[in-house]
Structure 1
Amino acid sequence: MHKLLQGSMLLFATAGTLIGGGLFCFWLFLHQPGSATLESKVIMVQPGLTVREISRLLAAEGVVSDPRLFRILSRLRKADQNLQAGEYRMTTTMTPEQVLAILEAGKGIVHRVTFPEGSTLEDVARILAEARLADREVLLSWMHNADFVRSLGLNADTLEGYLFPNTYHFLRSQSPTTMLREMVRQFHRQVEPQWRQRPVAAPNLSLHQTVILASLVEKEAATSAERPIIASVFRNRLNFGMKLQSDPTAVYDLEGFSGPVTGEHLKRDSRYNTYLHRGLPPGPICNPGLASLAAAM
């Protein structure tokens, strides 16, 4: 009986030591950074990664010291199902709880992207692709997807004319459609109030036709002061059934075009060429800024 009691006491003492040691190791893990040396790391957490895979990724980058303990921490904090995909900037001197808080809040790196007035769909796709925020071909596919375009409340076949030129802040984890939606949302915010308040004597054009006209003004105008004058000239030509004869329309659908518009370009057989066809072209030729849109109204 005495030996049994001694064995039990030894067993409990050993268990207590192990538990105490484990708790002490976990306490140390919570309060120690991944590394004593300060390094900045960009961590890309892909969608669909499990907490185990994320923990291993963080340990491999030196952001946490022990992937198993980080996994335990995330489960104790009930955050293991809430870790968000994204691109994160972290340092190796962060504590595990700081790292966990960033992942749970989704505080990813924000990329500042500017689209100039007069950018075309090709320009927008190129700028986003160069910033490594989206694939160019995927973007162009969505931009020309008529069902997607109409789901955004637009009476158009493509997004040309409706990706509002501005500076945006995007996350690399955002989908191409999310970015495009935000640009169209900005169009609605900026343009619709002006559209509702347009003068009674405004041209008898639909919003889509006004965007087309504004895109011509945007491409033709060299200065802000020219915009109302150019818009007035085009409106008069429309009223009299004249050809608009806007040079940029002759080369809009000419892939990769750059340089001056020549006489040969003006003879091109293109449905956008307003030297050959009367009235407005079938769609906008760029994404006009607010000043050109206001002039067209």
Structure 2
Amino acid sequence: MTGDKNDTFRQKMLEHQNEARIVRKIVLIISIILIFVFALIGGGGYLYIQSALKPVDPDSKVKKKVEIPIGSSVSSISEKLEKNGIIKDAKVFKYYVKFKNESGFMAGIYELSPSMDIQEIVDRLKTGKVLAEASFKITIPEGKQLKEIAAIMAKATNQDETQVFNQLNDKEFIKKLMNKYPDLLTSDILNPQIKYPLEGYLFPATYPFYKPNPTVEEMVIAMLNKSQHVLSDYIERGKEKNLTVHQLLTMASLIEEEATEQADRKRIASVFYNRIEKGMMLQTDPTVLYAQGKHKERVVYKDLEVDSPYNTYKHTGLPPGPIANAGRVSLEAAVDPEESDFYYFLATSDGKVIFTKTLEEHNKEKAKHITNKK
């Protein structure tokens, strides 16, 4: 009986082993099939993407006019390019742009060809190499304030200056722009202490427009697109100095307003940072004039008493927001100031800027160069 039981046990063991071998074979076969399928999918996807990145027709001599309207998103640009046969796949183009962190596409009527590769198309859209001549251009100089920019926009388009300025400060208009540029126009601009939400955000540059009467919104979108593109070079570096986008633009605006053509902006920036680090007030005259809404050659002692959060003679730290638009040189100074032990500077009548370390030294230079100050 014992022998029979052992034979039965061995028989069952052999059956289990056979079943296990069969199961392992099945699992192995399924695994090989799945690996093969995934390889086909992955390889096919890779080959498809590689193909989509290449020109639609490398030998094409065709040139097509493609209009990119002001404020176009990457998605809409991608779809337009695919529709016109300039690229193979809109989604691939869109993801390529995001992966390469490309931005700053400019509006205009472009002459593009199916023979162009994706990077060539991207470069063309970024540099604004367009086919059509601009109907007119608007130049916004560095250091301009929102009221002055509104006047330039109104004059260029034969609109009422007051109406343009009012739209630039309209709450619903601002919210609409914030939704479109969430990383640029943050909730910081809604601080009730801020005079004008868009102050400092309309980048100084020359803007071409391809129809004779663009709306205020179209002009502002062109400027904000430029701001967003330019600031992409400085935002991360600003974060290293614990500056938000808003604070970066604010600091750059102070540098812009204080600097003369001969001034070393990085040294001016060092003075501001040194004073902030030491808990001193910035005491910069342009903030006083901005608080008053004035343009004057010289600030007198009475001006320093103005009751405003922008008055850096009464409040420590940065003012609530920018006091003008700043150019690249001032933005660069804001993120990369010179290392110095200066705490004071003084602009002379001939445009020079004198830097000093102590109040005593500053007052001596002030006595030499500034007279008849009341």
Q: Tell me if both proteins adopt one fold, taking TM over 0.5 as the criterion.
A: yes
1:148 match? 176
Structure 1 position 135 matched with structure 2 position 174: no
Q: Deviations over 1:236-274 (max 9, x none)?
A: 111121100010000103235343222211221111000
Deviation at 1:285, TM superposition (A): 0.2
Structure 2 unmatched runs, 5+: 1-131, 191-196, 336-374
Given candidates 209, 213, 234, the residue that maps to 1:194 is 234
Structure 1 position 205 matched with structure 2 position 249: no
Q: Deviations over 1:86-105 (max 9, x none)?
A: xxxxxxxxxxxxxxxxxxxx
What is the count of residue pairs matched by the alignment?
189
Question: Normalising by structure 2, what TM-score?
Answer: 0.47
Question: Normalising by structure 1, what TM-score?
Answer: 0.59
2:235 maps to a residue whose letter is W
Following the alignment from structure 1 to structure 2, what is the Cα–Cα distance between the partners of residues 182 and 138? Answer: 19
* Aligned 8 A contact 2:134 2:208 in 1: no
2:271 match? 233
Q: What root-mean-square deviation, in Å, do the aligned CA atoms of Structure 1 and Structure 2 show?
A: 2.1
Deviation at 1:184, TM superposition (A): 0.8
Following the alignment from structure 1 to structure 2, what is the Cα–Cα distance between the partners of residues 293 and 224? Answer: 17
1:35 match? none
Specify whether residues 148 and 141 from structure 1 end up closer, same or farther in structure 2 by C-alpha distance, changes over 3 A only.
Answer: farther
* Aligned 8 A contact 2:249 2:331 in 1: yes
In our comparison, the structure showing a higher alpha carbon Rg is 2
Structure 1 position 277 matched with structure 2 position 315: yes
Given candidates 210, 213, 222, the residue that maps to 1:173 is 213
Following the alignment from structure 1 to structure 2, what is the Cα–Cα distance between the partners of residues 199 and 267? Answer: 32
Following the alignment from structure 1 to structure 2, what is the Cα–Cα distance between the partners of residues 250 and 289? Answer: 21
Specify whether residues 109 and 168 from structure 1 end up closer, same or farther in structure 2 by C-alpha distance, changes over 3 A only.
Answer: closer
Following the alignment from structure 1 to structure 2, what is the Cα–Cα distance between the partners of residues 129 and 279? Answer: 35
Specify whether residues 149 and 137 from structure 1 end up closer, same or farther in structure 2 by C-alpha distance, changes over 3 A only.
Answer: farther
Which aligned runs of 4 or more in structure 1 are off by greater than 4 angstroms? Answer: none
2:198 maps to a residue whose letter is L
Following the alignment from structure 1 to structure 2, what is the Cα–Cα distance between the partners of residues 108 and 177? Answer: 21
Following the alignment from structure 2 to structure 1, what is the Cα–Cα distance between the partners of residues 162 and 238? Answer: 41
SS of equivalent to 1:287:
coil
Following the alignment from structure 2 to structure 1, what is the Cα–Cα distance between the partners of residues 303 and 255? Answer: 19
Specify whether residues 222 and 192 from structure 1 end up closer, same or farther in structure 2 by C-alpha distance, changes over 3 A only.
Answer: same
Following the alignment from structure 1 to structure 2, what is the Cα–Cα distance between the partners of residues 224 and 190? Answer: 24
Given candidates 324, 329, 334, the residue that maps to 1:286 is 324
Deviation at 1:230, TM superposition (A): 0.8
1:135 maps to a residue whose letter is D
SS of equivalent to 2:138:
strand
Specify whether residues 149 and 199 from structure 1 end up closer, same or farther in structure 2 by C-alpha distance, changes over 3 A only.
Answer: closer
Structure 1 position 163 matched with structure 2 position 202: yes
* Aligned 8 A contact 1:134 1:175 in 2: no
More divergent stretch after superposition (250-259 vs 287-296): 250-259
1:259 match? 297
2:260 match? 222
Structure 1 unmatched runs, 5+: 1-106
Specify whether residues 175 and 186 from structure 1 end up closer, same or farther in structure 2 by C-alpha distance, changes over 3 A only.
Answer: same
1:208 maps to a residue whose letter is H
Following the alignment from structure 1 to structure 2, what is the Cα–Cα distance between the partners of residues 271 and 225? Answer: 27
2:305 maps to a residue whose letter is K
* Aligned 8 A contact 1:212 1:281 in 2: yes
Following the alignment from structure 2 to structure 1, what is the Cα–Cα distance between the partners of residues 238 and 166? Answer: 37
SS of equivalent to 2:157:
coil
Following the alignment from structure 2 to structure 1, what is the Cα–Cα distance between the partners of residues 238 and 164? Answer: 36
What fraction of aligned residue pairs are identical, expressed as a percent? 39
SS of equivalent to 2:322:
coil
2:78 match? none
Following the alignment from structure 1 to structure 2, what is the Cα–Cα distance between the partners of residues 208 and 224? Answer: 27
Deviation at 1:294, TM superposition (A): 1.2
